[in-house]
Chains A and B, each alone.
Chain A
């Protein structure tokens, strides 16, 4: 009961901040709302017995990535006119209408098909989301994927150095 209430509160908060994020005109506010979205999200992960993911969520997203975002926004320092100029209005309206239609269709089909969604295994063990369990998964079952991620990071490092360095020789 309490868990349900906690979930509801956090879910509403997360969705509310997410909506606020895309409706704010000022990018700084948007970034702040995004940070605010991550905390209730992390709490939902906690409710799902995944403390490790919850911590990573806060540390990596709210910590590292958001700082980067805010820095970039402040560095670019967009003027107000620039934000308002853009595509003609009718273009935006049509796009908005299509997106809204998509939301309605998606929502309708989820509501209609909610029973067909596979039930979550309710016999979740206590160590299910623990760091140890995650470690076992990463280095055992998902070993190949883990190794591939390291290749992916290598690509990103090469790219960052190559594109950002002033004099390559």
Chain B
């Protein structure tokens, strides 16, 4: 059993090493195909073995790993995000004619970091998992070595990210000093103390940076814009999922006695994130930047549910989990279409839907889902979140959330208007790539399944909080 807990992570590392080795045997475009196949097989096997971990609910390796339904579910979400990212990356690498397969290896290693981050049982595993993920992403953000913007993105993300890890580590050492424990469930048994509170504050800074919440959001637009598009999708989906996994687990379990404190902080930050994200997004003409600001807003929605966790942790964590699941499909799908079309600016999208009918429909679906229009996944996610927040009497924050979410409909639907109702501008033909098309199709299906028949997923999610406590 102990070994089964590390199968997914080990498989991902093995696949990464195979990808690296493969490039000494094959050259040119074949290299890309082979790496793509190896990485997809690796991720799918990892998904399979993660799936088998449902219902285990045990700690392994002296509490280093905590395999419970909560972590396993988020591992699955992160791995599905990774698989979709690999698919849309295939199209991207073909388009920019980059034959460096280190790319796939780094994605796989980042996924390994995410898997360990989601099932970490103590603070050391958590930190190392986080760093494996972050360092891979720093490198991937600067993958276009010739592009100034990509270099800028990598540099900004690296410097600020390293700094935020410093805060996290400092907070962890404070918590260790106050409680003498590094195992997350043991820390939760300790009484509230000054050291714990300082640790909580410092760790919040680290976490809020990683998930891109106001006031630590400054890096998000620049990094999202400069990084290669598939990596932006990976950051918005995978990194956020894994970040939230550790965030929710550590706050709800290790800091369960400090509810009074984080409840207020998270509420304020949620409101700020929703306002800043949605209001600034209105003026963005670059779709990558627009999605960056919208991702800040989506972080805000999830934090709103998180603030409700003081009195009802089960509903709060469930709604965050469900939202992350819906967001993964939606955002990767949206970025996939950006890659497919080969454009980034809003004006270039004029009439795109007439040029490529199916891609136009898919993009409409994703933007409807981001806006939260009924029958899409985004609607169910938002419904769940606002229901939780209103149940726990966070009226003001919820009202602000609903108002800003209505503002967001404007800029999401503007994209759809450009797609259909603006005169067509002749642009270079979009690339036809089956991998991107498959990823988009899977995402569309995911959006509709979660939007129309989410019962079974919700039932599964509702038991995850209990599994954390066992």
Contact = CB atoms under 8 A, between A and B. Distances in A.
B180 A155 contact: no
Nearest to B151: A163
A169 B98 CA distance: 11
A116 interface: yes
Most chain A CB inside 10 Å of its own CB: which residue of B190, B193, B197? B193
Interface string B73-107: 00000000000000000000000000110100110
Task: Identify the interface centre among A110, A117, A156: most chain B CB within 10 Å of its CB.
Answer: A117
B374 interface: no
Contact of B195 (A117, A142, A159): A117
Interface in A81-125: 106, 109-110, 112-114, 116-118, 120
B158 to A, nearest CB: 10
B303 interface: no
Report, as a range, how many residues of chain A touch the other chain: 20 to 34
B135 A149 contact: no
A145 B64 contact: yes
Contact of A163 (B64, B129, B132, B139): B139
B16 to A, nearest CB: 8
B132 A144 contact: no
A69 to B, nearest CB: 14
Given A144-B65, A151-B13, A158 B195 contact: no
A168 interface: yes
B41 to A, nearest CB: 19
Interface in A122-169: 141-145, 148-149, 151-152, 154-156, 158-159, 161-163, 168-169
Contact of B197 (A109, A142, A154, A162): A109
B167 to A, nearest CB: 12
A148 B61 contact: no
Contacts of B190: 118
B6 interface: yes
Contacts, number: 90
A163 B194 contact: no
Nearest to A114: B194
B1 to A, nearest CB: 14
A169 B145 CA distance: 14
Contacts of A109: 194, 197-198
Contacts of B105: 158
Contacts of A112: 194
Interface string B182-223: 000000001101110110000000000000000000000000
A111 to B, nearest CB: 9
Nearest to A145: B124
A107 to B, nearest CB: 10
Contact of A158 (B99, B102, B142, B179): B102
Contacts of A156: 135
B198 A106 contact: yes
B132 A152 contact: yes
B136 interface: yes
A117 B193 contact: yes
B116 interface: yes
Interface in B98-123: 99-100, 102, 105-106, 109, 112-113, 116
* Pairs A-B, 8 closest by C-beta atoms: A113-B194, A116-B193, A159-B139, A109-B194, A144-B61, A118-B180, A148-B128, A144-B64
Given A158-B20, A159-B138, 11 more contacts: A109-B197, A110-B195, A113-B193, A116-B191, A117-B178, A144-B65, A155-B109, A158-B106, A158-B139, A159-B135, A163-B142
11 contacts: A109-B197, A116-B191, A141-B62, A145-B128, A148-B132, A152-B131, A154-B109, A155-B109, A155-B132, A158-B105, A159-B135
Interface of A: 106, 109-110, 112-114, 116-118, 120, 141-145, 148-149, 151-152, 154-156, 158-159, 161-163, 168-169
Interface of B: 6, 13, 16, 20, 60-62, 64-65, 99-100, 102, 105-106, 109, 112-113, 116, 124-125, 128-129, 131-132, 135-136, 138-139, 142, 145, 177-180, 190-191, 193-195, 197-198
